[in-house]
Amino acid sequence: MNPLHAPISSWIPRWVARRHGGVQSTLSQSRVEVFPPEMFASSLSWRGRLQRWTSRLLHQAAPWLPEQARPVNRLAVVKREFRDSLCDLDRVHTQPLIERIERARSLREMWHLRSSLYGEVSLALSQGEAERRLARLNRHFPTRAPRSALAPLES
């Protein structure tokens, strides 16, 4: 049968599916995009420095007020969680990655180590386990909702 003579209802869904990359899996539908953190920590920005300066000034002017708690060192927490994700793997294969984790100086560097961690875990255990561990680590990094399949592509 000539495809031009086929009813429109039979070829339009196939054309739309082909145009938009086919049917998406449940994995790609539930995927959240994770981005690296800002290049500079907020404490290094002018706003962060201004906040530190005003809190010091306030504490000098009113010493009876309680001091603010020191901020949590997020980098140390993230490094520990990265190491914990590798703890059950063979130490010989993961040692270079553990050393890179220890040398990392920012959350941005840790963000770039995610792919290496994923590779080590997927080779040693399974891809599903690597995805679970990476999803647990992704909570430390900024996220954005995935783009809709019906939204136009940006040029």
Q: Where residue 122 falls among pLDDT bands split at 50, 70, 90?
A: very high
Cα(55)–Cα(49) distance, integer angstroms: 10
Highest mean pLDDT among 18-27, 29-38, 59-68, 143-152: 59-68
Average pLDDT over residues 104-124: 92
Provide the H-helix boundaries in the chain.
Answer: 8-19, 26-29, 46-61, 74-86, 91-103, 107-124, 127-137
Domain ranges of the chain: 75-142
Higher-confidence residue: 55 or 100?
100
Per-residue pLDDT, averaged over 91-120, amounts to 92
Q: Per-residue b/e over 96-106, b at no fewer than 16 CB within 10 Å?
A: ebbebbeebeb
Tens-place pLDDT, residues 5-52: 555 555 555 555 554 444 444 444 456 677 677 655 555 667 777 877
